[in-house]
Amino acid sequence: MLTNRGIRFFSAVLAALLLASACGCARTVPSVLSESASASPDLIIAAEPTETPSAVPTATPQQTPALRYIFLFIGDGMGPLQIQAADEALTADGREPLAFLDFPVCGLSHTNNASGETTDSAAAATAIACGVKTESDMLGLDPDGNRVASVAETLRDMGRKIGILTTVSVDHATPAGFYAHVSFRRDYDVIADDLFASGFDYFSGGGFHETPDAAAHAEENGYALCATLSEAAAASEGKIIYESDQIIGDFGLVPAIDGGARAGQLADSLALAVDRLTGQDGFFIMVEGGRIDYFCHYHDAASVAYEIYDMNEAVEVALAFYEAHPNETLILVTADHETGKLSLSEGDRTALLRQTISCDTCDDTLAADCIADQTPFESALPQFLAAFGLEDPTDEETAYLSEAYRHTILQDLSASAKKAQYGVYEPITCACANLVAARAGVAFGSGSHTSLDVPVYALGVGQEFFEGVYENTAIHDSILQAAAEYPIG
């Protein structure tokens, strides 16, 4: 295996020649993308890394390692440049880098669906969880509609405890890929039935979409349905569904950038899951950073970075556990697909850290209040500049914000014109987010998923099975291969 310092991934053409070779992982993320078209000309290729103290232990497993504990982190929509931008913002600001970038193994995963087209989260989750390529919208089924078992179900049947954690709704596509078997990802009532029937030990995330009787179903199936972490922690030994009360309109958790009671919730939930599930039979825990995708769709670059930081805090919980159980633990960090066709140019990445409000919350609070009060631009401007960390705006930036604010107050743009000119939020909200991204040197080329390859970082027992370049279905296969190679007896 090559060293994890100073190694870059080759393009897809060259990568195809390296399928049988081991590949390493640089301090900066893989930076040559492998979509059929070449990368945007303004894309920054990862610079040679500077030596920084590794935050990850590299202890050699004992002679008889046993893979008892498995963590799988999935950043929904988290492509290599999303990771790079978030990490560069941290390091430029003198903060600790993303913990998983120093993992000793970094593979590369192809993400297209069974038809060779750009995947959605349902088909991607099925591929990762079940080891089978399927069509978009399908969960836990092959393209012919046949039921396929997920790695979580297989490990459950082998006696392991199972945890499924997310920052979106617990019935959303990625978590559902590990327990549901439906032909349409928005059949939420059937998905909920599959969740209750799974027998998994711990669920955590936002609310259910269309299950008003969730409490009754949970009780019928032996689950304690809890609204807060303290309530979940106080629950007697048994199965838990932590349906957080910190949710926003689409049943997912409040954006991480908005802080408050939401801050650290994913990491705290994982810590509770680890505490409840650790034992001789071992566990498999899937943790999704589900809102990375959401903010990539809607071009809120700072909120993307904060969602990655939020998931990284949970990775650090897993790393602390690894420190105590290095001969029994495997940690994987990957993505289901890339969203937004991100590109990077020269800029001040720390601009991403100065924004303190998500575009969702800005629309619901600051922008809404200004519309209701018809606040003059001169009075509103300082509030928006402070919320988005836009210090010392140029005359050109101020003029851009003024025009956007005028459209916001007058509400004189059609929905299509507003989206084409600014984005999905109020024009002033979009304009502020766009300036943050421009200052940071971050640009979105799309509002959709792409076919870009995504990295797979691995640390621990069985890490060697995740080297190289492969289809996303290999993640399922390699987890089971590692479990078979290092049995717990």
Residue 306 lies in a domain: yes
Whole-number pLDDT of residue 42 = 38
CB 2 within 8 A of CB 23: yes
Return phi, psi of residue 59, to 5°: -60, 140
Judge if 192 and 270 occupy the same domain.
Answer: yes
Judge if 221 and 370 occupy the same domain.
Answer: no
Task: List the one residue out of 170, 175, 124, 132 whose CA is nearest residue 152.
Answer: 175
Judge if 112 and 221 occupy the same domain.
Answer: yes
Whole-number pLDDT of residue 98 = 98
Judge if 130 and 171 occupy the same domain.
Answer: yes
Which residues, 6+ apart, have CB-to-CB distance to 449 below 8 Å? 77, 118, 119, 120, 337, 338, 339
Judge if 193 and 338 occupy the same domain.
Answer: yes
Residue 333 lies in a domain: yes
Q: Which one-letter DSSP state was computed for residue 139?
A: B
Judge if 410 and 282 occupy the same domain.
Answer: no
Which CATH number is 291's domain given?
Answer: 3.40.720.10
CB 9 within 8 A of CB 31: yes
Judge if 358 and 380 occupy the same domain.
Answer: yes
Return phi, psi of residue 186, to 5°: -105, 15
Three-class secondary structure of residue 335 per DSSP:
strand
Q: Which domain holds residue 215?
A: 67-346+446-485
* Structural domains in the chain (count): 2
Residue 274 lies in a domain: yes
Whole-number pLDDT of residue 212 = 80
Distance CA 436, CA 389 (A): 8
Judge if 341 and 355 occupy the same domain.
Answer: no
**pTM, to two decimals:** 0.90
Residue 329 lies in a domain: yes
Residue 318 lies in a domain: yes
As averages over each run of 10 residues, the pLDDT of the chain (489 residues) reads 33 34 42 39 35 47 84 98 98 98 98 98 98 98 98 98 97 97 96 96 92 86 93 91 89 94 95 97 98 98 98 98 98 98 98 98 98 98 98 98 98 96 97 98 97 98 98 98 95
Residue 24 lies in a domain: no
Judge if 182 and 292 occupy the same domain.
Answer: yes
Judge if 385 and 459 occupy the same domain.
Answer: no
Whole-number pLDDT of residue 56 = 52
Residue 81 lies in a domain: yes
Judge if 291 and 377 occupy the same domain.
Answer: no
Residue 295 lies in a domain: yes
Write out the H or E segment, with its range, that includes residue 74.
Answer: strand 69-75
Judge if 173 and 293 occupy the same domain.
Answer: yes
Structure tokens at 343: 């590109």
